[in-house]
Amino acid sequence: MSFLDEVPWNEHGLIAAVTQDAATGRVLTVAWMNREALKETAERGEAVYWSRSRKRLWRKGEESGHVQKVIELRLDCDADALLLKVEQVGGIACHTGRESCFFRKLENGRWVTTDPVLKDPSQIYKNR
Interface with a second copy (CB under 8 A): 2-3, 6, 16, 18, 20, 24-27, 29-30, 42, 72-78, 80-81, 83, 94-96, 98, 101-106, 109-111
- Are 31 and 102 contacting, i.e. CB atoms less than 8 angstroms apart? no
User: Which one, 4 or 65, has the nearer CB to a second copy?
Assistant: 4
Q: Residue 92: in which H helix or E strand, if any?
A: none
User: Which one, 89 or 95, has the nearer CB to a second copy?
Assistant: 95
| CA–CA separation, 15 and 82 (whole Å) | 7
CB of 95 to a second copy, least distance (A): 7
| CA–CA separation, 25 and 35 (whole Å) | 26
CB of 48 to a second copy, least distance (A): 14
| CA–CA separation, 45 and 65 (whole Å) | 15
CB of 80 to a second copy, least distance (A): 7
